[in-house]
Amino acid sequence: MNYEVRNAPLSVLICELDAGESVECQRGAMSWMTSNVGMETNLGSGGGKGLLGALGKVAKSAVTGESIFRNTYTANGGPGEIAFASSVPGDIVAYELTGGNSIVAQKSAYLANTKGVNMELFFQKNLGAGFFGGEGFIMQKFSGTGTVFLEINGCTVNYDLAAGQSMIIDTGFLAAMDSTCSISIETVSGVGNALLGGEGLFNTRVTGPGKIWLQTMPASSLAASIIPYLPSSRS
């Protein structure tokens, strides 16, 4: 499958499918497609088969807020094209999975994937990082063989962390990381800094080895910047 990301920061992922080739996405993610691309709704690939696999997907849906179902789009009778637009201004990042690597991303990052990609829950081992770090106790882990496409809010900044090297990240700015990285939290030093510095009480520390993807405009920050300009509701 050939693909291209166009028009950042209002990004759109355009996938060129060969005949019989498929791509999966979250329900409702498709933006446009050629008329020979057919859709089938199912439980998605990966994550186990049979009753246990289905129950696992139900549990994942319950805790992440995503639909249990995936839409699979397949080109029929010849090549086809399908597009997925980002939900907020930002980048779309493609991550190639080879069977020996995996990536962990925030719950809202998933956009689409090729066949062969497994998606499962990733629980923060450090409870404090989950509750106070801003990335959530539950993230999503992608493994297997294929390509997963992730939405990054705002622009993307990448860092390759060596073993033991750390980056301190403000709440919500961590979009994804190699699964070899670890997360912990630390309090902002000094009472005055914590109360008056405007950065909150906690920061997230991500430690390598591995690559991290940071986003310059988390959805929560975008919403907070717009709220003052919205007309107040009147009773």
Instruction: Flag whether 213 is in a domain.
Output: yes
Residue 235 lies in a domain: no
Within a domain: 234: no
List pLDDT tens digits, range 149-203.
Answer: 999 999 999 999 999 999 999 878 999 999 999 988 887 665 444 444 445 567 8
pLDDT at 136 over 60: no
Q: Which residues contact 64 (CB under 8 A, 6 or more apart)?
A: 107, 121, 138, 140
pLDDT digits (tens, 9 = 90+) for 8-62: 999 999 999 999 999 999 888 999 999 999 999 987 554 445 444 444 444 454 4
Instruction: Pick the closest to residue 118 from 92, 97, 139 (CA basis).
Output: 97
Query: In which band, very low, low, confident or very high, does the pLDDT at 137 lie, cut at 50, 70 and 90?
Result: low
CATH number at residue 130: 3.60.160.10
Number of domains in the chain: 1
Is there a domain that residue 94 lies in? yes
pTM of the predicted protein model: 0.81
Q: Is residue 225 part of a domain?
A: yes
* Parent domain of 76: 2-229
